[in-house]
Structure 1
Amino acid sequence: MRSGWTKGRKGACVTQMHYARQGIVTEEIAYVAKREDLPAELIREEVARGRLIIPANIHHHRLEPMGIGIALRCKINANIGNSPVCSN
């Protein structure tokens, strides 16, 4: 699905955040925007701010881009910390 999208991406900085901070709407950002029925520019801005992520490794061509964040349908809540009760 994504092999054509990632062909021109080479170098040390190939993350969605890198492109979003440069003002570039990648194919993955556009795909997530269409899927979530939101403007692509809003998705780009949220990725650039670090409030939304799109896990999209350039070496994984068959994945379907999905956004994770507060403005989207997919959210992750994790409570990580110390607990006074522990199992051995």
Structure 2
Amino acid sequence: MKRVIGLCLVTAFLTGCTSSLPHHYDCQDGIGFNAMVTSESALIRFKGKERDIPRIRSASGAQYESEDKKTGLYTKGEEAMLVWDEQTLRYCVMQ
């Protein structure tokens, strides 16, 4: 029984370590958004809506972009730029 509990605790700990916490970004115009990024995709929450977009190849930083190009998240360190339909949020900084 102790072995099963120990295995469950280790699994829960490792699962917690691999999950990505949501981050809040504040942008130049006083607008902000939330993003939870992984090595495969980014889940973005903006204007009360959520979009999950895949990661694409990038020479520098991380880039996530929808196939229709209407949503994109481009990050490098703690800085980001978000494209959401016709709106582009520039100079965003992770809080």
Q: Which of the pair is proportionally richer in strand? A: 2
Q: Normalising to structure 1: TM-score of the pair? A: 0.30
Structure whose alpha-carbon radius of gyration is higher: 2
Q: Which of the pair is proportionally richer in helix? A: 1
* Structure with more relative contact order (C-alpha pairs < 8 Å, separation 6 or more): 1
